[in-house]
Amino acid sequence: KAGVTQTPRYLIKTRGQQVTLSCSPISGHRSVSWYQQTPGQGLQFLFEYFSETQRNKGNFPGRFSGRQFSNSRSEMNVSTLELGDSALYLCASSYGTDNYGYTFGSGTRLTVV
Amino acid sequence: GEDVEQSLFLSVREGDSSVINCTYTDSSSTYLYWYKQEPGAGLQLLTYIFSNMDMKQDQRLTVLLNKKDKHLSLRIADTQTGDSAIYFCAESSNTGGFKTIFGAGTRLFVKA
């Protein structure tokens, strides 16, 4: 079966712009979680969606937002980009009704210049 | 708050066993995991263990959990050069939704 698909793979944006990243989970998975990965901070939890509802949120500013659609696909948006937002953004999916671990996508590498 | 700590580097010779250690702080953790990340890729789930277990074996992988000390370890038997990667320890508790906290990752170097 198809894995978790994240688009685009690479993105270069300018400070102040906004960006939208997309994630398609594994078929049947209803939970989508987003993580920011940087060399200095490691993997930081952004938020988790299940059946179009945000169930959990990490400690990120309001510039970071997300949503989930009825087909479980998810998007995350970052507004007013800062240099420090440069990171690998990882999406992970699971059934959401158990905690047997995630399937991760390959990530979107965002560079803010 | 929740925290997961692990050493940053480990170097072993091919054929030896590797042991990667991790400590966590959340006493309500219900699941603990080991993930592997290779360059340019996302994380791959290697194995998980319930908090009421103390050991799990899966082929070359052995996970040991000491719940009293909040200590988790991953042993890789007969380590191969293809095992060179970053290994992440993670913990999760069901707090009205699933939120998994990851350690910083241990970079494993396997010398031929």
**Can you give the pLDDT at residue A100?**
86
B89 part of contact set with chain A, CB < 8 Å: no
Short-list B104, B95, B111, B97, CA closest to B20: B104
* B53's tokens: 């277990």
pLDDT > 90? residue A80: yes
* A54 vs B26, residue with greater confidence: A54
**Can you give the pLDDT at residue B97?**
66
CA angle B54-B104-B75, nearest 5°?
35
Q: CA–CA separation, A19 vs B56, rounded Å?
A: 42
**Can you give the pLDDT at residue B29?**
79
Mean pLDDT for chain B overall: 92
What percentage of chain A has pLDDT greater than the value 90? 87
pLDDT > 80? residue A77: yes
Which residues in chain A touch residue B96, judged by CB atoms under 8 angstroms apart?
Answer: 55-56
Q: CA–CA separation, A102 vs B92, rounded Å?
A: 11
Which residues in chain A touch residue B97, judged by CB atoms under 8 angstroms apart?
Answer: 48, 50, 55-56
* B78 vs A100, residue with greater confidence: B78
Q: B44 and A104: CB-CB below 8 Å? A: yes
User: What H or E segment, with its residue span, contains residue A67?
Assistant: strand A64-68
Confidence of residue A97 (pLDDT cuts 50, 70, 90): confident
Render pLDDT for A3-15 as a digit per residue (tens, 0 to 9).
999 999 999 999 9
Distance (Å) from the C-alpha of residue B95 to the closest C-alpha of chain A?
Answer: 9
B34 part of contact set with chain A, CB < 8 Å: no
**Can you give the pLDDT at residue B73?**
97
The residue whose two tokens read 């692990």 is B6
Render pLDDT for B23-57 as a digit per residue (tens, 0 to 9).
998 878 789 999 999 988 889 999 999 989 999 99
Q: A48 and B98: CB-CB below 8 Å? A: yes
The residue whose two tokens read 């929740």 is B2
Q: CA–CA separation, A41 vs B103, rounded Å?
A: 10
Render pLDDT for B86-101 as a digit per residue (tens, 0 to 9).
999 999 876 666 788 9
Average pLDDT for A73-83: 98
C-alpha to C-alpha distances, B111 to A100, B11, B41, nearest whole angstrom:
32, 7, 22
**Can you give the pLDDT at residue B26?**
83
